[in-house]
Amino acid sequence: MERGASHTRARRAAVCAARCLALGSLLATTGIAAAAESRVPSNPAALLRDAVAADAAGDRKRADRLFNRVVTDYPIVADHAALANARAWLAAGDPAE
């Protein structure tokens, strides 16, 4: 009987390990997909630089979208991004936007 109980424990451990690997693989894949689909970089400074560069290149709509992402997702620098966006719209001659 001892041998059978040991075999059962080993089998359960193997099944548990397989389930853990499958779950870990699923979570890793989901995490990678979520990171790839993330709409916000982890660095608000990069967004601000991209927004300024887009504005300098004449792409106001992209710049506006990037400034607004900073405002929405990074409250600590939201005022700075909103002010930079307002100044860019004024410089473009379209304050109504």
Q: Which helix (H) or strand (E) holds 47?
A: helix 44-56
Number of residues in the chain: 97
Residue pLDDT tens, the chain, 97 long: 556 666 676 666 665 555 655 556 555 555 554 554 455 456 899 999 999 999 999 999 999 999 999 999 999 999 999 999 999 999 988 665 5
Would you say the pTM of this structure is higher than 0.75?
no
- The 3-class SS string of 8-46 reads HHHHHHHHHHHHHHHHHHHHHHHHHHHHHHCCCCCCHHH
